[in-house]
């Protein structure tokens, strides 16, 4: 394998639990095959591949492996226990009867965690459902700062939308992005506290979660319906991660 003649201090290898996008990625034949598989998958879906590859710094090996595994394992519709919130894969490439199936279950709003835009919005609305976009890519994976007013405001609006109930949240594979959305709910939405199980553990994002908590204003907390008791329980959860 050809190696780059760079000083070791010029890059860092990404650990399994570090999601920093500015990281050196391998460029050997295995990595190239992974990237090609992802590129072909996105092209097949008519999803612009540049949104996760050409547009941003190269993905690290951990993210490549995660994307490959999720391409092969797509999760179907699942109801969050004791709620009217459902999770699963996006229906952007499914027949219209898939959206009608959501409506038959009492779902009123589809939350697009990818950001497919106007075409998907029109498809959802034609099925008699409401559409709301909250791109996890733009509001989580593509960020270095989780304390900005824009990020916090967007998150609060998303959580308030979730509080309306009768919701379907969908990402490309019904996996990582829905997990991030539900982790935000587990910590900061008093109406869904401790009811959403995820395969990603909050411990992987302890810095981000604590940063978000420190950045929430009293107005944000009031809008979400926080109580003194809820915040006391939340502080204990924050200490444990």
pLDDT value for 130: 97
pLDDT value for 43: 60
Q: How far apart are CA 68 and CA 142, in angstroms?
A: 19
Q: How far is CA 100 from CA 91, 97, 176, 196, in A?
A: 11, 5, 25, 25
Q: How far apart are CA 135 and CA 113, in angstroms?
A: 5
pLDDT value for 201: 87
**Considering the chain, what is the average pLDDT of its residues?**
79
> Phi first, then psi: what are they for 31, rounded to 5°?
-60, -40
* Three-state DSSP class for residue 104: helix
Domain 78-240 = CATH 3.30.70: no
Among 17, 31, 95, which residue's Cα sits nearest to residue 59? 31
For the chain, how long is the longest CA-to-CA vector?
A: 59
* Three-state DSSP class for residue 174: coil
Q: Which residues pair with 110 in a beta bridge?
A: 131, 168
Among 215, 213, 187, which residue's Cα sits nearest to residue 200? 187
pLDDT band for position 16 (cuts 50, 70, 90): very low
CB 168 within 8 A of CB 110: yes
Per-residue pLDDT tens over the stretch 155-203: 999 999 999 999 999 998 888 899 999 999 999 999 876 567 788 889 9
Structure tokens at 40: 């072909």
- DSSP conformation letters of 190-227: TTSTT----SS-GGGGHHHHHHHHHH--HHHHHHHT--
Structure tokens at 178: 């829905």
Q: How far apart are CA 17 and CA 65, in angstroms?
A: 13
Structure tokens at 7: 């000083």
pLDDT top residue among 25 and 239: 239
> Residue ranges of the domains in the chain?
23-72, 78-240
Q: If you count them, how many residues does the chain have? A: 241
Using CB atoms within 10 Å of the CB of residue 54, give its burial: 0 to 12 exposed, 13 to 18 middle, 19+ buried: exposed
Per-residue pLDDT tens over the stretch 128-165: 999 999 999 999 998 999 999 999 999 999 999 999 99
Among 169, 80, 182, which residue's Cα sits nearest to residue 129? 169
Query: pTM to 2 decimals?
Result: 0.70
Among 132, 198, 134, which residue's Cα sits nearest to residue 166? 132
């Amino acid at each position: 394998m050809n190696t780059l003649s760079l000083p070791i201090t010029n890059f860092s290898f990404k650990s399994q639990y570090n999601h920093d996008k500015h990281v050196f990625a391998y460029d050997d034949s295995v990595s190239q095959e992974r990237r090609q598989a992802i590129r072909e998958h996105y092209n097949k879906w008519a999803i612009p591949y540049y949104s996760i590859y050409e547009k941003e710094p190269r993905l690290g090996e951990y993210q490549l492996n995660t994307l490959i595994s999720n391409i092969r394992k797509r999760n179907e519709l699942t109801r969050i226990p004791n709620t009217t919130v459902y999770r699963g894969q996006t229906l952007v490439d499914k027949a219209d009867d898939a959206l009608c199936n959501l409506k038959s279950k009492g779902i009123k709003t589809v939350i697009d965690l990818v950001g497919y835009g106007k075409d998907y919005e029109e498809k959802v609305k034609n099925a008699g459902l409401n559409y709301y976009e909250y791109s996890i890519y733009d509001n989580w994976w593509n960020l270095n700062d989780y304390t900005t007013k824009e990020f916090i405001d967007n998150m609060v609006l998303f959580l308030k939308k979730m509080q309306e109930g009768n919701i379907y949240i969908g990402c490309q594979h019904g996996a990582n992005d829905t997990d991030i959305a539900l982790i935000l709910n587990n910590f900061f939405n008093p109406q869904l506290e401790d009811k959403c199980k995820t395969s990603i553990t909050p411990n992987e994002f302890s810095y981000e979660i604590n940063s978000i908590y420190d950045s929430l204003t009293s107005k944000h907390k009031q809008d979400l319906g926080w109580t003194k008791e809820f915040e006391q329980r939340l502080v204990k959860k924050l200490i444990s991660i």
